[in-house]
Amino acid sequence: MTTWHAVEPLTEALWFAGNYAFHPDVELERTVLLHVANEANEDEMIAIYAASQNDE
Protein backbone atom coordinates (compact mmCIF):
# COMPACT_ATOMS: atom_id res chain seq x y z
CA MET A 1 0.00 0.00 0.00
CA THR A 2 1.21 3.50 -0.72
CA THR A 3 -0.24 6.87 0.24
CA TRP A 4 0.60 10.50 -0.43
CA HIS A 5 0.72 13.01 2.44
CA ALA A 6 2.30 16.07 0.81
CA VAL A 7 0.49 18.65 2.94
CA GLU A 8 0.58 16.78 6.25
CA PRO A 9 3.37 16.69 8.83
CA LEU A 10 5.66 13.66 8.73
CA THR A 11 4.43 12.51 12.14
CA GLU A 12 0.85 12.37 10.88
CA ALA A 13 1.80 10.38 7.79
CA LEU A 14 3.78 7.94 9.93
CA TRP A 15 0.91 7.63 12.42
CA PHE A 16 -1.35 6.70 9.50
CA ALA A 17 1.14 4.06 8.33
CA GLY A 18 1.26 2.39 11.72
CA ASN A 19 -2.36 2.74 12.79
CA TYR A 20 -4.73 3.09 9.88
CA ALA A 21 -3.24 1.37 6.85
CA PHE A 22 -4.81 -2.04 6.25
CA HIS A 23 -5.57 -4.63 3.61
CA PRO A 24 -9.06 -6.17 3.54
CA ASP A 25 -7.83 -9.74 3.07
CA VAL A 26 -4.26 -9.90 4.40
CA GLU A 27 -3.04 -9.02 7.88
CA LEU A 28 -0.21 -6.53 7.57
CA GLU A 29 2.44 -7.61 10.05
CA ARG A 30 5.14 -5.07 9.23
CA THR A 31 5.47 -1.44 8.31
CA VAL A 32 8.16 -0.59 5.77
CA LEU A 33 9.56 2.93 5.79
CA LEU A 34 11.29 4.06 2.62
CA HIS A 35 13.08 7.38 3.07
CA VAL A 36 14.70 8.77 -0.06
CA ALA A 37 17.25 11.45 0.79
CA ASN A 38 20.78 12.64 0.05
CA GLU A 39 21.95 11.63 3.53
CA ALA A 40 20.95 8.59 5.56
CA ASN A 41 19.31 9.20 8.92
CA GLU A 42 17.77 5.84 9.74
CA ASP A 43 17.92 6.30 13.52
CA GLU A 44 16.08 9.63 13.33
CA MET A 45 13.37 8.25 11.03
CA ILE A 46 12.80 5.22 13.28
CA ALA A 47 12.60 7.49 16.34
CA ILE A 48 10.08 9.77 14.64
CA TYR A 49 8.01 6.74 13.58
CA ALA A 50 8.07 5.28 17.10
CA ALA A 51 7.05 8.61 18.65
CA SER A 52 4.22 9.02 16.14
CA GLN A 53 2.66 5.72 17.22
CA ASN A 54 2.03 7.13 20.71
CA ASP A 55 -0.05 10.06 19.40
CA GLU A 56 -3.74 9.30 19.14
Q: Where are the domains of the chain?
A: 10-52
Burial class from Cβ neighbours inside 10 Å (0-12, 13-18, 19+) for residue 11 reads: middle
> Do residues 51 and 13 make contact, with C-beta atoms less than 8 angstroms apart?
no
pLDDT, tens only, 7-55: 989 888 888 888 888 889 998 888 888 888 899 999 999 999 999 988 5
CB 51 within 8 A of CB 10: no
Question: Is the model's pLDDT at 2 over the cut of 80?
Answer: no
Residues 6+ apart with CB under 8 A from 23: 1
